[in-house]
Amino acid sequence: MTNEVYISIITVNYNGLSDTCEMIDSLKQHLTISSYEIIVIDNASINNEALLIQEKYPEIKCFRSNQNLGFAGGNNLGISKASGKYILLLNNDTYIRDNTLLSLATFLDNNPSIGAVSPKIKFADSNIIQFAGYTNLSLITLRNKLIGFEQEDKGQYNIAHISPFLHGAAMMIRKDIIREIGYMPEIYFLYYEELDWCEQIRKHGYELWYIPQAEIYHKESSSVGQGSPLRCFYLTRNRLLFAWRNRQGLIRLLALAYQFLIANPKNILYYTSKGQLNLAKSCFRGITNFIEMKNKKDINEYSH
């Protein structure tokens, strides 16, 4: 029977019981096919939320990790338990209002050269777009933009198109491609891992597409976490990791030099001038941690 599963929906839960249950309820209400499975990974929540979720939804699969594996590690654990033809990574703070998620799988069925897709993503309880594709990352500064971000949805992004990267909050990929390219890189822990994974998918000759026929809603606010030391640390470190792992030769050297000599010093000075010393310290720790990682381990590995 496991070979008949069409879609494996994987979500990572970390102290997010209420959000996770709301997401599951929306899936159970709106998905009309029977051939899907829901897999919840409890990423070492303070309480054993996997047990609570399993009790409430005995038909789904729940697994608890005794340590926080990060975004990639939690999803990878879910992927290892999945039996679907397609893997849908779905943030636990998302929900759906209709059956359009199935159009992602239909699109992949009809387009074998396409490796993975993401739907249109809107901010929760609104008609405001969060994601309608990405622009490409600049070679040296490693900057890009979310297409349609914070725009009212008036149908202006209702045509499917290639996107250089997909959104980690909602991303469907073929299971056989994961067997080919490997799991999501766990070295990042938080931020940039799905961008790196998308790079690997494209390097193996597969296209990535934005599919607006499918819509999800994301509770993340446009300002959430902007002043978080944790976010500052991982973004600083992981831009350096991404540059090292996905740029070569002179471009790699220039990308690293930009981060070391321009972007990060500018950020540290800015945070210091604003009295945000915790953020300045986090930025500096991100730099030093990258150097330590580079010296201690092979940061070109993709998962472990």
The answer to whether residue 26 is domain-embedded is yes
- 97: region left, alpha or beta (phi > 0 left; psi from -120 to 50 alpha): alpha
Residues 210 and 240 reside in one and the same domain = no
Residues 114 and 214 reside in one and the same domain = yes
* Kind and range of the H or E run holding 89: strand 86-90
Which is nearest to 183 in space by CA: 175, 56, 222? 175
Q: What pTM value is reported for the model?
A: 0.92
The answer to whether residue 302 is domain-embedded is no
Last residue of a domain, one of 218, 246, 278: 218
pLDDT value of position 224: 43
Contact 270, 258 (CB under 8 A): no
Number of domains in the chain: 2
pLDDT value of position 168: 94
pLDDT value of position 34: 81
The answer to whether residue 304 is domain-embedded is no
What's the N-to-C CA distance of the chain in angstroms? 30
C-alpha–C-alpha distance, residues 102 and 100, integer Å: 5
C-alpha–C-alpha distance, residues 242 and 188, integer Å: 9
Contact 293, 176 (CB under 8 A): no
pLDDT value of position 302: 53
Q: Which domain holds residue 269?
A: 229-296
Q: Could you report the average pLDDT of every consecutive run of 10 residues in the chain (304 residues)?
A: 76 95 96 92 94 96 94 96 96 95 96 96 96 95 95 98 97 96 93 95 96 95 64 95 95 97 96 95 96 82 49
Last residue of a domain, one of 185, 218, 251: 218
Q: Which residues have a Cβ under 8 Å from the Cβ of 298 and sit 6 or more positions away?
A: none
At which residue do the structure tokens 């300045």 appear? 280
Contact 13, 41 (CB under 8 A): yes
**Tokens standing for 182?**
């490997």
**Tokens standing for 148?**
């349609």
Last residue of a domain, one of 218, 241, 260: 218
pLDDT value of position 222: 43
The answer to whether residue 224 is domain-embedded is no
Residues 202 and 237 reside in one and the same domain = no
Residues 116 and 239 reside in one and the same domain = no
pLDDT value of position 303: 44
Residues 186 and 55 reside in one and the same domain = yes
pLDDT value of position 220: 78
Alpha carbons within 13 angstroms on the beta-carbon side of residue 174 total 21
CATH of the domain at 142: 3.90.550.10
